[in-house]
Structure 1
Amino acid sequence: MSRAAARLATTVLVSLFAVLVSNGVALAHAGGLTSASNEPVILRLVPASPGVTVTVVEYGARLRLDNHTAERVAVLPPPGSVINALPVVGPGGSALWSDPRIVAAARQPRPPGARLDWSIPLRAGDTHVTLVGEQRWPPPPNAGLWWLITICAAVLPPVVVALGTRRRGGRVLKRATQCAESADSRDVFESRRTGGRGVVAVGTAVVMGAHVVHMYGSSLVVAQGSLALVFLAAAGFAVVGWPIGVAGAWLTLRNRPAGPLLCCVAGALLAIIIAPADVFSFHDAVIPFAWGADLDRLLIALTVGGGLGIVAAAWLLMRRTAPAPVGDQP
């Protein structure tokens, strides 16, 4: 390995060590949101209160209260509770909060009928109002399908690299046996090197792109904060993995020795360290993602499965393209 490749490898290993010993690993979804088996649904306010609206945001993680009246609206704690962090919203204001009654309902096992009633008392001025809603359990996804897609994404890259390099290397080796000149021998290794470069480079780009779209789509769900800051905070050390993957793909296409190594590191960083927490989305029905749950599951399958596949394919490419030791050559 060249000095430049050795320096790049050292930098990558230091980055991975920093990920392992820190708390900077990316969250499963932006804003600390996670997938869930159920979600809250608001039914009505009793009595009706014109100007007071309550909506579900962040796929059930929080509620939003908007007060368009001339009175203060307060969210009251459960009877006998010492909770004092529930919002009091002045005229024209709004507030986000995670309500303990919804949190308690969400922790219950799936009930018969897949619905569980809850209520939250409010006080609008001197009037007591009840927010009536229910927790609903949508049908769970077909987890087996998404695990199958993940496995296929993991198996495909190394298989294509193995078959491609074997066929290409076999053809050139046959020609090399007909001519013993050193230039022809070098052609063997050059042909084997080019066999899987495109697979590793394109596969790495797909994995990086899938994870970027996954993080951006989940960042759009967060109801508070700057989108850019939410995205970067959710990405964590994926912001290290993405440029490593892009550099690895480019260097691999340029036939640089460090390219497959960087692709291998980027794939391992996403598939082994950062993204595994996302696979719960294969089993949960409610996914905090802006463009649909199934698209997010596909992106996760490509990130986890494809990342593992790139690790194997890049390692295979490095192993097959390594020239034989000088002492072993005739």
Structure 2
Amino acid sequence: MILVLLRRAGLVVTAALAATLALAGPAFAHGADAPDGTDYRTEVTGLAPARSGLAVRAIEAGARLELVNRTGRDVEVLGYSGEPYLRVGPGGVYENSRSPATYLNRTIAGDTELSPEADPAATPVWRRISGGQSVRWHDQRALWLESAPPAQVSVDPEREQRVRDWVVPVRDGDETVEIRGTLDWVPPPDPYPWWVAAALGFLAIGAAGLAPAGSAAGTRALRGVGFLLVLGGATAVAFTVGRELDAGAQGVGGVLLGLFSGQIWALLTGLGAIAAGGYALTRRAAGDFALALAGACLALFAGFANVAVLSRSVAPVPWPATAARVMVVLVLAAGAGAVAAGVLRLHAASRTAASRSGDQGRAAVWGLKP
């Protein structure tokens, strides 16, 4: 019996994996190397001196800085040797192919090999990369890139503390403006209670699959699982939208563009769970399989894909990390619980069908005897 259940669960998960990967396409490239969570909080504290029409903020859990220039004139971001690195203005966004920062900032780890033409002392060679008025980039001055924590953090890792104040210089005409910010260590949470909560939720929801199919209790159980799957799917969609907002998307159009160009797989996973849960609520045929399939997609690609949030202090969403953890636990419990409940109900249905077939066969045999 256990082997049969495991085999069916494996088929459901495999189908979920194939369906989701088929829909994913290049969407996994969204945000490039944007972290799923971190223990270092990067914040922009302001511009000195302040500039009307010039705004800077940290996005993607601090992995990138975003500069928006509405001054009507060109502004240059300076690289690590004080060389022109980026230029933003009425004509669009340009990068200097001679600046080492152009190559170092392509990844958050700063491990891109420098081009032979990279020379901070050379005359800039500008290459247009966008027609907009904003630019986003990794900046090592605002990040902690070492695998080991800072010395002061190693001494007292349980206390929130300042790693450093940082400055990124910007040239506005003949004047230098400083983007100022802070980098702080925030102690990570204990993930154990969150995993316990997810496991208990999974067991409670999965147990609904033990209610006899066709009975009033079975109907209530199916509706309950369907409702929780709808709730889990809606939570997954909200979390995905939150990641887009944290990645710098602005307005409904910006969010939709980000979702369909970089987070379509996560969006479809959440929407699929909502649809499957609603389908189960109507008690239609194949509702059990829909629960199991959508639950597997939800748990795998919206739950486990974001489990870093459970053990990191800074989440890639614009709300408190505790709220993000609650959301991920709900998605995990609803998705995995729906798989368990759906597989149990499918197994019970197959046993009932086999029993009825055997009874009919025996009746037919006895009916032939004189």
TMscore range, shorter length: 0.7 to 0.9
Which residue of structure 2 aligns with residue 190 of structure 1? 214
Separation in structure 1 between the aligned mates of residue 73 and residue 275 of structure 2, nearest angstrom: 58
Q: For 1:83-138, what per-residue CA distance to the aligned partner results, in whole angstroms no more than 9, with x for missing partners?
A: x7523446999533224323653556432144123332222222334434331122
TM-aligned CA deviation for residue 281 of structure 1: 0.8
Q: 20, 41, 44: which one pairs with 1:42?
A: 44
- State whether residues 42 and 58 of structure 2, in contact with CA within 8 Å, keep that contact through their aligned partners in structure 1: no
Separation in structure 2 between the aligned mates of residue 230 and residue 212 of structure 1, nearest angstrom: 13
Which residue of structure 2 aligns with residue 86 of structure 1? 86
TM-aligned CA deviation for residue 207 of structure 1: 1.6
Which residue of structure 1 aligns with residue 21 of structure 2? 20
1:276 aligns with 2:304: yes
Which residue of structure 1 aligns with residue 286 of structure 2? 258
Which residue of structure 2 aligns with residue 98 of structure 1? 137
Equivalences for residues 1-330 of structure 1 within 5 A? 16-20=17-21, 23-24=24-25, 33-34=34-35, 35-43=37-45, 45=47, 48=49, 50-51=51-52, 53-58=54-59, 59-67=61-69, 72-79=74-81, 86-89=86-89, 94-102=133-141, 104-107=143-146, 109-111=148-150, 112=152, 113-162=161-210, 165=211, 169=212, 190-191=214-215, 193-194=218-219, 196-224=221-249, 226-322=254-350, 323-325=352-354, 326-329=356-359
Separation in structure 2 between the aligned mates of residue 318 and residue 277 of structure 1, nearest angstrom: 27
Separation in structure 2 between the aligned mates of residue 118 and residue 66 of structure 1, nearest angstrom: 19
Separation in structure 1 between the aligned mates of residue 266 and residue 70 of structure 2, nearest angstrom: 41
- State whether residues 64 and 94 of structure 1, in contact with CA within 8 Å, keep that contact through their aligned partners in structure 2: no
- Residues 280 and 110 of structure 1: CA distance in aligned 2, closer, same or farther (over 3 Å): same
Q: Which moved more, 1:13-22 or 1:36-45?
A: 13-22
Separation in structure 1 between the aligned mates of residue 26 and residue 323 of structure 2, nearest angstrom: 23
SS in 2 for 1:86: strand
Separation in structure 2 between the aligned mates of residue 274 and residue 110 of structure 1, nearest angstrom: 29
Separation in structure 2 between the aligned mates of residue 305 and residue 116 of structure 1, nearest angstrom: 39
Q: For 1:152-175, what per-residue CA distance to the aligned partner results, in whole angstroms no more than 9, with x for missing partners?
A: 22111122432xx2xxx5xxxxxx
Over the aligned positions, Cα root-mean-square deviation in angstroms equals 3.7
Which residue of structure 1 aligns with residue 157 of structure 2? none
Q: For 1:44-77, what per-residue CA distance to the aligned partner results, in whole angstroms no more than 9, with x for missing partners?
A: 656x355474532324233333557676421111
Q: Please report the TM-score for the alignment, with normalisation by the length of structure 2.
A: 0.66
Unaligned runs of 5+ in 1: 1-9, 170-188
What number of residue pairs does the alignment pair up? 294
Unaligned runs of 5+ in 2: 1-10, 93-131, 153-160, 363-370
- State whether residues 304 and 332 of structure 2, in contact with CA within 8 Å, keep that contact through their aligned partners in structure 1: yes
- State whether residues 102 and 118 of structure 1, in contact with CA within 8 Å, keep that contact through their aligned partners in structure 2: yes
Q: For 1:191-227, what per-residue CA distance to the aligned partner results, in whole angstroms no more than 9, with x for missing partners?
A: 2753631232122212212111211233333324622
- State whether residues 229 and 335 of structure 2, in contact with CA within 8 Å, keep that contact through their aligned partners in structure 1: yes
SS in 2 for 1:314: helix
Q: Please report the TM-score for the alignment, with normalisation by the length of structure 1.
A: 0.73
- Residues 16 and 279 of structure 1: CA distance in aligned 2, closer, same or farther (over 3 Å): closer
TM-aligned CA deviation for residue 257 of structure 1: 3.4
Which residue of structure 2 aligns with residue 4 of structure 1? none
TM-aligned CA deviation for residue 33 of structure 1: 4.1
Q: Which moved more, 1:209-218 or 1:19-28?
A: 19-28
Separation in structure 2 between the aligned mates of residue 14 and residue 109 of structure 1, nearest angstrom: 40
Greater share of helix residues, 1 or 2?
1
The code of the aligned residue for 1:210 comes to T
SS in 1 for 2:86: coil
Separation in structure 2 between the aligned mates of residue 57 and residue 290 of structure 1, nearest angstrom: 11
Percent sequence identity over matched residues?
25
Which residue of structure 2 aligns with residue 3 of structure 1? none
- State whether residues 54 and 69 of structure 2, in contact with CA within 8 Å, keep that contact through their aligned partners in structure 1: yes
- State whether residues 105 and 116 of structure 1, in contact with CA within 8 Å, keep that contact through their aligned partners in structure 2: no
Separation in structure 1 between the aligned mates of residue 139 and residue 194 of structure 2, nearest angstrom: 33
Separation in structure 2 between the aligned mates of residue 241 and residue 69 of structure 1, nearest angstrom: 41
- State whether residues 37 and 137 of structure 1, in contact with CA within 8 Å, keep that contact through their aligned partners in structure 2: yes
